[in-house]
Amino acid sequence: MAPIRVLVTDDIANTREDIKRLLYFEEDMEVVGEAGDGHEAVALALDLKPDVILMDINMPGLDGIGATEEITMKAPECAIIIVSIQGEQDYLRKAMSAGAREYMVKPLTSAELAETIRKVHESQQKRNLRYTTSPSRQVIQQRANTKGKVVSFFCTKGGVGKTTLACNLAVALARETQKKVALLDLDLSSGDVSVMMNVAAKGSIADLVQDENSMDLSLVESYMVPHLTGVQILAAPSAPERAELVDADHVEKILGILRNHYDYILVDTAPFYSDINLNVLDASETIALILNQDLTTLKHVKSAKDILSTLKYGSRLRVILNQQSREGIKVKDLETTLDVRLSAAIPEDQRVVRNAINKGMPFVIGQPGSPVAASVTGLMEELELLGAGRNQSRKNPKTGMTRVFNF
């Protein structure tokens, strides 16, 4: 069996030597190169195509976050592990958003480092296999016609309203189609679906996966909470630390079961790249990338669009503008910067949305006559969820050009 090929990146030569010594006695690993800065790391990644890259964050010139993002886009088959002295959550979020597969804090032990490299390499091999054997668009469409459609809501920036959209679209689908709709809260450490839907979950996905050896439809449904509209909800763990009990294989198995028995599966994802999220995106016929009209969100969405396109998800992406108002960046500027036409625009209505959240009553049933409710209901057609012949021509929002932002 070929050894795991490792590239070591750190601006301090002694640190690179220390890492090489930690891996010296690992017979299934081989250090194939070392880089002293981010630019060199990118060049060597493209040239050597290592299996795993150990990446420091703080380096002169192009830092580890920037290098990680560039390598993820240009060589997505390489798995990146961030190794840093900084253990703050902000660094972790930035690393995972850039495409890192794991984050380790120095100092390291040889056993800890080797185990992490093996785990990340094994996971990356599974992903690479899925990409090389991914079905054609025609096959995907045929599969979508016979199994439940998975729609995931994603953005690497929090607070854009993806949970609100997922909950309200799930309710709209259940009421309009009278079909089986599942709503999964996979923001495992801080999910709010149960609060927004005003349901009390006796168990969560973290409890469900403890019985993974006997997982079937009846077991999965025993942990799902019925909403008054018929939507079945699988809640996120009530305590953040229980998120660690759920892994990518669990989610893949749950999605497979639900797709065979539900017509629609809507997934509210966590705001970062992870094996769990990538498994969800792999299974999704539609990926709703949520956008707001501020510069920071635009930067996040542009980066996400580029990364997800590199990971072969581009044909499934639908960019949705949420909380549209007269303030902020104009629609035409957003479309020009992202080089994409928005699939839909949901108007801002803080009063309706806030009241709906506080009452635990989705506004598509609490305020069905409001413009925001009508727009979310229209998402069923914009995202092609109602079947052939039901889609209407899109009406693009009024636009105006003032400025193009380059990132």
Which pLDDT belongs to residue 318? Answer: 96
Long-range CB contacts (< 8 A, 24+ apart) of 63-70? Answer: 63/38, 64/9, 64/38, 64/95, 65/94, 65/95, 65/98, 66/38, 66/98, 67/9, 67/38, 67/39, 67/41, 67/42, 68/95, 68/98, 68/99, 68/100, 69/98, 69/99, 69/303, 69/307, 70/38, 70/42
Mean pLDDT value across residues 357-384 = 92
pLDDT of residue 365: 92
- Give 130's pLDDT tier (boundaries 50, 70, 90): low
181-186 sheet: strands from edge to edge? 225-226, 232-234, 181-186, 264-269, 149-154, 286-291, 317-324, 344-347
Report residue 354's pLDDT band, with 50, 70 and 90 as the boundaries: very high
Q: Is the pLDDT of residue 208 over 50?
A: yes
Kindly report the pTM of this predicted structure. Answer: 0.70
What is the CATH architecture of 137-382?
3-Layer(aba) Sandwich (3.40)
Q: Which residue has the tokens 């006796």?
A: 202
Distance CA 250, CA 233 (A): 17
Considering the chain, what is the average pLDDT of its residues?
87
213, pLDDT greater than 90? no
User: What pLDDT does 131 receive?
Assistant: 57
Q: How sure is the predictor about 149, in pLDDT bands with cuts at 50, 70 and 90?
A: very high
User: Is residue 372 over pLDDT 80?
Assistant: yes
Query: Which helix or strand (DSSP H or E) is residue 85 part of?
Result: none
Q: Please check whether the two domains, 4-132 and 137-382, share a CATH topology.
A: yes
- More confident site: 86 or 253: 253
Q: Is the pLDDT of residue 390 over 70?
A: no
pLDDT at 402 (0 to 100): 38
Please say if the pLDDT value at position 258 is more than 90: yes
Residue 395 has pLDDT above 70, yes or no: no
Q: Which of 281, 353, 345, 269 is nearest to 317 (CA)?
A: 281
Residues 213, 262: contact at Cβ < 8 Å?
no
Please say if the pLDDT value at position 167 is more than 50. yes
pLDDT at 14 over 80: yes
pLDDT at 323: 95
pLDDT surpassing 90 at residue 133: no
Q: Where are the domains of the chain?
A: 4-132, 137-382
Residue 387's pLDDT is 64
Rounded mean pLDDT of 249-266?
Answer: 95
The pLDDT of residue 403 is above 80: no
pLDDT exceeds cutoff 60 at 389: no
pLDDT at 240: 86
CATH of domain 4-132: 3.40.50.2300
- Give the pLDDT score at 108: 87
Omega within 30 of 0 (cis) for the link into 107? yes
* Average pLDDT score over residue span 211-225: 89
> What confidence score (pLDDT) does residue 132 get?
57
Mean pLDDT for 350-375 is 93
* Window from 23-32, 239-248, 315-324, 346-355 with minimum mean pLDDT: 239-248
Q: Which residue has the higher pLDDT, 376 or 87?
A: 376
pLDDT higher for 367 or 133? Answer: 367
